[in-house]
């Protein structure tokens, strides 16, 4: 990962028509002071940007067989 900033915040990004995903992101974003970037949920394991803080919904990992990012 590049950078070591502790004040970087990310949200999960989606490629879906499920409005529930969007609603969860809006709700989670209310707990963050800002959003610096969106990280695609389906390819999160490839993320190689700066160290970041992200609220992650646990059901994302229980509904699918997705590899966790190496930093998780």
Segments making up each domain of the chain, as ranges? 9-63
CB 69 within 8 A of CB 45: yes
Of residues 56 and 51, more confidence is placed in: 51
Per DSSP, helices labelled H in 1-72 are: 19-29, 59-63
Q: How many separate helices (H) and strands (E) can be counted in the chain?
A: 2, 3
Its pTM stands at: 0.65
Q: Tens of pLDDT along 9-22? A: 999 888 888 888 88
């Amino acid at each position: 990962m590049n950078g070591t900033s502790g004040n970087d915040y990310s949200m999960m990004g989606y490629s879906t028509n499920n409005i529930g995903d969007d609603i969860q992101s809006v709700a989670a974003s209310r707990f963050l002071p800002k959003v610096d970037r969106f990280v695609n949920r389906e390819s999160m394991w490839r993320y190689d940007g700066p160290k970041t803080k992200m609220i992650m919904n646990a059901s994302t990992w229980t509904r699918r067989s997705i590899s966790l990012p190496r930093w998780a």
